[in-house]
Chains A and B, each alone.
Chain A
Amino acid sequence: MSQPVFHTDEVTKVYNTGDVQVFALRGVNLDIYASEMTVLLGPSGSGKSTLLNILGGLDDATEGSAFFKGMELTAMSERQLTTYRRDHVGFVFQFYNLVPSLTARENVALVTEISPDPMLPEEALAMVGLENRIDHFPAELSGGEQQRVAIARAIAKRPEVLLCDEPTGALDSKTGVVVLEALSRINSELGTSTVVITHNAAIQNMAHRVIFFADGQISEVKVNKTRLLPHQIEW
């Protein structure tokens, strides 16, 4: 078994909204292994995004610690977290989050410009099958194409980990498959450790490992003996 890239120790996250305390995470202990594709499944509001944000250095934990390859994320300063994100993490968001005033290539270049060892933006776009849409603005792309630009942007820096929060959430199943194929290809070709949050139970079949979430805690971890290819998945 390979090394864990992420390790968490009783991670707790509490949101204080006015007089109500929301326990988004209640002591999460988990390991995520290098080069694997991990799927996080769970009902809405169970804390998946919150956990992913903490792993990606976007948010801090209220209690407990999270480690990336032995480095404690939860102890890092804002500046160190920025460097961590810049050098190691790729993000894919449910709503694409492309910069509307930049073309596909420029959206990717946004990341390659500040990375130590990036690919060419064209190369990254080719990996997600968008070599013909390079100079289009987001408004000129379909939802699936926009999401693939977002993936290209995430992988262009050759990140060690790729964190995807509902990457297919806004897409129909056919387009969703294209996006999943892109993710799967990157995972296998580049060996990028990939974490995918989804509501879609069918997607678990393409993962090495599936982590079930309920009510701010891990309810079950499952390791798939055999994995399906993305185009074999249907929903």
Chain B
Amino acid sequence: MRVLDKKLFRDFWRLWAQSLAIALVLACGVMILVIAIGVERSLSETQSTFYERNRFADIFASATRAPNDLKREIEQISGVSIVETRIVQYSILDLEGLSEPATARLVSLPPMGEPLLNIPSLTTGRMPDPQSSNEVVVNSTFAIANNFTVGSSFHATLNGQKRLLTISGTVLSPEFIYLIGPGAVMPDNRRFGVVWMGYDALASAFDLGGAFNDVSVRLTRDANEQMVIDELEKLLAPYGGTGPYDRSMQTSHMFLDSELKQLKAMGKAVPPLFFVISAFLVNMVLGRLITLEREQIGLFKAVGYSNAAISWHYVKLAMGIGLFGVLVGWAAGISIAYWMAGYYTVYFQFPYLIYITSPDTYAISAMAGIGAAVLGAAQSVMKTTKLSPAVAMSPPAPTRFKQNIFDKIGHFMGARQPVMMIIRSITRWPMRASLTTIGIALSVATMIATLFMFDSMDIMMDSAFFQANRQQATLSLAQPQSRAVLADVENLPGVLRAEGMQTVAVRLTNRHLTKIIGVEGRDPGMDLSRVLDAGNNSVVFPQQGIVLSDRLANQLDAQIGDTLDMEVLQGQRGHFEVPVTGVIRQYFGIGAYMDLNYLSALLQLQPLVNSVNISIDENALNGLYEQVKAAPNIAGIVRWDQIRQGFNDTVAQSSGITTTIYAFIASLIVVGVVYNSARILLSERARELASLRILGFTQNEVSFILMGELLFLTMVAIPIGFFFGYLMALGIVESFSSDMFTLPFYISRGTYGFAGVVAFTASAASALLVRRRINRLDLVAVMKTRE
């Protein structure tokens, strides 16, 4: 081995603690890159493989009742490759061991042969006999949550008739990778499932013989999607068709896609932060090392080493640190990525997971990691080339201190000498002081930008669960019914109050902008489920007009006073002009609301309701459940109190884990920054501090000079970090919001406080690590060494 390389190893070994501190920060960046890209690619690949193998449809539509013959006409549309028509209905289930009713989405299987599209993959058992009227397959997670195995059976109310269904197998389908019940905000595998059964059984139960109410279409390669959608809409319109939509509006696909986008965004946005900080740190440490070794560098030059050889020597040191960080990052990334991908399968139901190890991710992360270290080294290394061998031979001139404004302030305030030393040190090396401050500030910002999500979520929850939706349950009706049904519901045992509303599928158009959405017709006096304005006050609906959620208003570029074209996509259909009378803030989903009487008037129908919000007497629940399970016209029930509970539990659990992880990562940054700053400060000032000790200053007084500076910088950094964090959070709110969620922007004092305390603690801890070295300063040795 070359002697210079031996020196390299020994330097590396001597600087191990500082190198480790940098390498860990770097490793975080590499790890996040490897995880985010690795998991994203694995899930994407799994998704597209599953879609392909199980022929996930491209276009989806529903109708009330379309004749089976229509299928042939749909197949004629140019661009259509495969058409599958089905019956899809909702049904109340009565499950053993579950007092409340569960809900199922019933999906028909073709009377003959295999399904052509959205093919369910068997995980256990076999597909049901198409001729059987009670054999079904259910989605695996529903079976697992309810302890069902092949041969288990349960009761379902199909169009008012109670049936005993027997499970012949369990499946997973590309249509329900993310499965969420209607009206729910989170998956609930116990109370919502998908049940596939023979067409004939469903057709006879729901009086849909010779007809279908659901179409899936797979396109040819060169199809014009929008044209197919338009054609299909025309064909289905006479049969109660409600606007066909593409994958981007298919619930399961929408959730999965937005998750993948977030992963991708994280992989792009977060690692650079760590790389930048690592580069700063390498710059600091190497800069100091090179200052310390200027005589050695002069010597290398004097004996004939070229600038290139000397630069390469120090670049290799930086690369060593980078490589170390990359290896640690990879190791952590690989193990965590496996775990994460598995974690996703809890929420996303895939029959298998294709784990992709992409060499380019490793190559990119290695290049980025080592590149950051080398870039950080660049400035210091450039300095070595400028060092004249002759100048390097003479000892460095003592650092020049000058009186400046801060000194005067200090003197004026009668500061003691140690304080003056701190002030001078900061003003003499403003660059290092700023880098330290920025590093700490960034870690504070990282914590805020991640932890504020829980604050936002709190707001979202409070608004959606406690302010807007105060009902304990929502019943969805199988068919729209007149308001008289409300009285019937109120007569059910335990129901204290019932309020109805109707959701109608419409297409809203403002100039060239259009959106298909369910508009809710609401009774003016509704008090359980309310539409709230920004101040959490109930919105009073004007007699005429439509109220839009802010996100929808944005998408349609509509303001109060604009008139929208509303095309009703069901029943009698037709175009109506509706004025926008209000815009409200809404966090879950996007909504449009109007007075039920106005909606009915437009539709020229008597007011109808298709869902009923109820408040209930907890003591009479069982009686209510019995009735609901048996009621012929109730297609589903959503228990809001359970959603609230489930959400709180999930959020609490994941917030605990997430908070810990981010606090840990942020502490790593702080330790990396502060520890290195402290070591460098100590090395620069060892002689000075030792002199003070010799003059009779105590260890405490001497440590104060060093720790005081760092803690002062930390105190300055924390509010700056608050500000950075605020900006980052603002950006995240924008990028995270989708049609499913609109994240409110809110950062609680608790979040600020937590981030500040973690940063300060980590800073103090790393300063203390270095304090041990101050206490062990060998006074004689320090004074003997020449600098």
Contacts and interface: CB of A to CB of B under 8 A. Distances in A.
Interface residues of B, number: 26
Given A53-B393, A95-B786, A97-B298, A111 B303 contact: yes
A93 B302 CA distance: 10
Given A59-B388, A97-B295, A101-B14, A85 B303 contact: yes
B389 to A, nearest CB: 4
B775 interface: no
Interface in A111-145: 111, 113-115
Interface in A38-85: 53, 56, 58-59, 78-79, 82-83, 85
A214 interface: no
A36 interface: no
B397 to A, nearest CB: 10
A91 interface: yes
Nearest to B394: A49
B284 to A, nearest CB: 21
Interface string B764-787: 000000000000000000000010
Contacts of A99: 7, 296, 299
Contact of A97 (B2, B299, B304): B299
B306 A79 contact: yes
B305 A82 contact: yes
B346 interface: no
A56 B393 CA distance: 12
B302 A91 contact: yes
A82 B7 contact: no
Contact of A82 (B296, B298, B306): B306
A95 B300 CA distance: 15
Contacts of B4: 110, 113
Contacts of B298: 58, 97
A97 B3 contact: no
Contacts of A95: 295, 786
A158 interface: no
Interface in B1-45: 2-4, 6-7, 10-11, 14
Contacts of A102: 3, 6-7, 10
A58 B304 contact: no
A109 interface: yes
B14 A58 contact: no
B218 interface: no
B288 to A, nearest CB: 16
A115 B298 CA distance: 18
A163 to B, nearest CB: 9
Contacts of A7: none
Contacts of A114: 303-305
Contacts of A113: 2-4
A29 to B, nearest CB: 21
Contact of A101 (B11, B299, B303): B11
Nearest to B304: A86
A143 to B, nearest CB: 11
A10 interface: no
Contacts of A83: 304
B330 to A, nearest CB: 29
Contacts of A97: 295-296, 298-299, 393
Contacts of B389: 53, 58-59, 85
A58 B392 CA distance: 9
Nearest to A112: B3
A112 to B, nearest CB: 9
Given A85-B389, A115-B304, 20 more contacts: A53-B390, A56-B302, A58-B301, A58-B393, A85-B301, A85-B303, A86-B305, A87-B304, A91-B299, A93-B393, A97-B299, A99-B7, A101-B7, A101-B10, A101-B11, A102-B6, A109-B3, A110-B3, A113-B4, A114-B304
